[in-house]
């Protein structure tokens, strides 16, 4: 049986948070349902953050209320205890805290310095453990910070270790501005996987320099089996200058399929979800591979 790789589609959160057009909760739910129809089981459905900081994520409670029931791993991003309380009150059982490896990014993104951000994470992680809520933590700017430049791998390792010790169910290593090349991915991941275990790690790549899929490949070679990706390559952090879209889900699925992994995701249905994302946002180019995938669907070589 083929080895499984989990894809967590962050389009409804990372993909929509930076759009000039703000979608209605009903439209966000429509997109989530299209992703489910494509076979995705892991979806980040929104964020419980300050609506002043990120207006597009207001109404995530309404999105959560409209999610279908089933064996799905729906998650939401949270920056602090208030976000945790709002998320869990909305029925979310998988939360994603965010902390950056660089102080300036923490200040710009969540208005906290490194020490405060770590203390907030530790506090929320303790609560989540008590409540039986899965709490993963994004380590943003894990390779490069738009303000402070290259990040020392030892800082990321130390932070990841502390967060796991505090109860994080997973560390999501995030290349916020899409600056890492595959060799840099391996340099960071090899010792992290050896010390912390691949099962405790996942990766979140942005595709700014067109290396997102190559970065996923490098991470797969290091043993990582869980990835964030975004439908149609939507995405970007409003507080990280130069951050563009996430690596597109269709590009990642296509590559993993060709590598012989099982993702459970249907490419034709994924393209239908990308079409909906484009229709709703008016601003979604699709992945690098989408033209080719469409041709295969037309020819009947990729079946719906």
Query: Among 178, 232, 236, which Cα is nearest to 207's?
Result: 178
Residue 204 within binding range of ligand HMG, rule CB under 6 A: yes
The interface partner of residue 79, options being Mg ion, ligand HMG, none and the CB cut-off 5 to 8 Å by kind, is: ligand HMG
The interface partner of residue 4, options being ligand HMG, Mg ion, none and the CB cut-off 5 to 8 Å by kind, is: none
| From 26-34, 81-89, 146-154, 194-202, span contacting ligand HMG (CB under 6 A) | 81-89
Side-chain half-sphere exposure of 128, counting CA atoms within 13 A = 33
Residue 14 within binding range of Mg ion, rule CB under 5 A: yes
Given 121, 203, 237, 284, the catalytic residue = 237
Identity of the residue, 116 or 129, whose beta carbon is nearer to ligand HMG in the bound complex: 116
Query: Quick one: tokens of 122?
Result: 């530790």
Identity of the residue, 78 or 220, whose beta carbon is nearer to ligand HMG in the bound complex: 78
Residue 17 within binding range of ligand HMG, rule CB under 6 A: yes
Residue 176 within binding range of ligand HMG, rule CB under 6 A: yes
**CB nearest Mg ion: which residue?**
14
Query: Among 75, 24, 2, 8, which Cα is nearest to 246's?
Result: 8
Contacts of 115 (CB under 8 A, 6+ apart): none
Task: Tell whether the torsion through CA atoms of 44, 48, 52 and 53 is positive or negative.
Answer: negative
At residue 44's C-alpha, the angle toward residues 40 and 47, to 5°, is: 165
Question: Would you call 37 exposed, middle or buried from its count of C-beta atoms within 10 A (0-12, 13-18, 19+)?
Answer: middle
**Residues touching ligand HMG, count (CB under 6 A):** 26
145 is catalytic: no
Identity of the residue, 63 or 173, whose beta carbon is nearer to Mg ion in the bound complex: 173
- Please give the residues from 44 up to 73 whose contact with ligand HMG meets the rule CB under 6 A: 47-50, 53-54
End-to-end Cα distance, the chain: 22
Query: Quick one: tokens of 211?
Result: 């290396």
Query: 280 near 241, Cβ under 8 Å?
Result: no
Residue 227 within binding range of ligand HMG, rule CB under 6 A: no
Identity of the residue, 120 or 222, whose beta carbon is nearer to ligand HMG in the bound complex: 120
Identity of the residue, 14 or 251, whose beta carbon is nearer to Mg ion in the bound complex: 14
Residues binding Mg ion (CB under 5 A): 14
Residues catalogued as catalytic:
237
Residues binding ligand HMG (CB under 6 A): 14, 17, 47-50, 53-54, 77, 79-80, 82-83, 86, 98, 109-111, 138, 140, 174, 176, 204, 206, 237, 239
């Amino acid at each position: 049986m083929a080895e499984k790789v989990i894809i967590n589609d962050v389009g409804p959160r990372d993909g929509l948070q930076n759009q000039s057009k703000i979608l209605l909760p009903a439209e966000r739910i429509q997109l989530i349902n299209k992703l489910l129809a494509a076979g995705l089981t892991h979806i980040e459905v929104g964020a419980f953050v300050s609506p002043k900081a990120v207006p597009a994520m207001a109404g995530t409670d309404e999105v959560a209320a409209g999610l279908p029931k089933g064996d799905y791993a729906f998650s939401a991003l949270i920056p602090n205890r208030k976000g945790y309380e709002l998320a869990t009150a909305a029925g979310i059982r998988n939360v994603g805290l965010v902390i950056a490896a660089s102080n300036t990014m923490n200040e710009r993104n969540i208005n906290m310095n490194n020490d405060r951000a770590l203390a907030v994470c530790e506090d929320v992680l303790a609560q989540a453990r008590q409540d039986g809520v899965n709490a993963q933590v994004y380590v943003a700017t894990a390779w490069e910070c738009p303000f402070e430049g290259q990040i020392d791998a030892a800082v990321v390792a130390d932070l990841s270790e502390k967060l796991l010790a505090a109860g994080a169910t997973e560390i999501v290593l995030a290349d916020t501005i899409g600056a890492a090349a595959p060799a840099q991915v391996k340099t960071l991941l090899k010792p992290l996987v050896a010390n912390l275990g691949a099962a405790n790690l996942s990766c979140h790549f942005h595709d700014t320099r067109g290396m997102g899929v190559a970065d996923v490949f490098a991470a797969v070679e290091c043993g990582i089996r869980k990835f964030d990706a975004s439908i149609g390559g939507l995405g970007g952090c409003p507080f990280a200058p130069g951050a563009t879209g996430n690596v597109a889900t269709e590009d990642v699925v296509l590559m993993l399929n060709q590598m012989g992994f099982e993702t459970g995701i249907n490419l034709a249905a994924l393209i239908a979800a990308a079409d909906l994302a484009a229709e709703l946002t008016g601003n979604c180019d699709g992945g690098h591979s989408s033209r080719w995938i469409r041709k295969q669907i037309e020819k009947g070589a990729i079946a719906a």
